Amino acid sequence: MSIAAVVPLIAEIPERLASVSDLLLALARQFPRDADDPGIIAHLLPRVRRAPNKPDADLDLSAALLAVSADWVVFVEDDMEIGRGFGDSARDSIRLMSADATIGAVALFSRREQDPQHLAAGERFHEYHEHFKQGQALVMPRAVARLWAERLAGYMPCPDWDIVFGQACAAASLRILTALPSTAQHRCLPSSLGHRCDVRSLTFVG
């Protein structure tokens, strides 16, 4: 089983450069290379700060996703912190998807208000039924990454990446699950759209 990480980076914002350095180190620690495991290959996509709906970054992401040769893709935005259990949650998600072809992806970050109740009820994975817009940390098979890439390339300009991802899964009748608790958390950093400190998981385990 081979895994690739795809990480887009807003390179001209210093705080995000520091964040992505921490993220890449954490990914390397949680997916170590050994005799039985090739570890993780990271694809970093530096890009300048952009106004919403600029097509250049969308095409860069599409091309990167199409270029991945690994069996599985972990997509993580550059302003995410990953907890100690991120690697294990990703592997659990891969095992689940390997056994059920109707699942297109598992989100390892969620900020839905209902998440604490689902977690308290003992749910390890909860199906995402509403309009999908939480794609900051996703695990998916390569085939689904290609569906996402092809749909991104078809939008010029396109809406938010995670909206397009949800549309790609819906068009292929694929389900999206949320892993609980969240093992990724959104940092309060400057972005192309300003500061967003409200996009936080209520179940994050560091």
Tens of pLDDT along 40-65? Answer: 888 877 664 444 555 566 678 888 89
Over residues 113-169, the pLDDT tens digits come to 889 999 899 999 999 877 787 889 999 999 999 999 998 887 655 568 888 899 999
Global pTM reads 0.88
- Number of structural domains (the chain) is 1
Strands 3-10 and 72-76: parallel
Does 196 map to a domain? no
The answer to whether residue 196 scores a pLDDT higher than 80 is no
Residue written as token pair 């500061």: 195
User: Is 204 a domain residue?
Assistant: no
Residue 122 lies in a domain: yes
Residue 192 in domain: no
Confidence of residue 190 (pLDDT cuts 50, 70, 90): low
Average pLDDT score over the chain: 85
What is the C-alpha to C-alpha distance for residues 66 and 143, in angstroms, rounded to an integer? 9
Buried b (16+ CB within 10 A) or exposed e, 159-174: eebbebbbbbbeeeeb
3-state secondary structure 19-45: HHHHHHHHHHHHCCCCCCCCCEEEEEE
- What is the span of the domain harbouring residue 32? 3-186
CATH no. for residue 74?
Answer: 3.90.550.10
**Alpha-carbon span 28 to 177, nearest angstrom:** 25
